[in-house]
Amino acid sequence: MGFTIDIKPWITEKSVKLAEKGKYTFLVDKKAKKMTIRQVLKDLYGVIVGNVNVCVVKSKRVRVPKYWKYKRLGFKKGYKKVIVTIKEGGDKIANLFKI
């Protein structure tokens, strides 16, 4: 299939602990749907995806240090985070969170 979605592993302490239980965390495009994410992961890693949980983090206002005197604000970009559960008996994604 011709899916072009950017999928990047999201590596934090919590995501590494979840990876031991068969749940993997990725950053994806904001326009990506659950079914396309499922298909792309199957094509990339060859695993059967059981459950897909999506978390959309909104952009946040931040103060720009250079302009504190003028109270200038900037924005931190938002992103879409996906937690994927691999089905029971399926292969784990090898070497994804090995540092």
Range of the domain at 25: 8-86
In this structure, is residue 67 part of a structural domain? yes
In this structure, is residue 1 part of a structural domain? no
In this structure, is residue 22 part of a structural domain? yes
pLDDT in tens, the chain (99 residues): 555 788 899 999 999 899 888 899 999 999 999 999 999 988 888 888 999 999 999 999 887 777 666 677 888 999 999 999 988 766 777 666 665
Assign residue 26 the CATH number of its domain. Answer: 3.30.70.330
Domain count, the chain: 1
Amino acid at 81: K
In this structure, is residue 94 part of a structural domain? no
Residue with tokens 């396309």: 36
Q: Considering only CA atoms, which of 6, 51, 44 is closest in space to residue 26?
A: 6
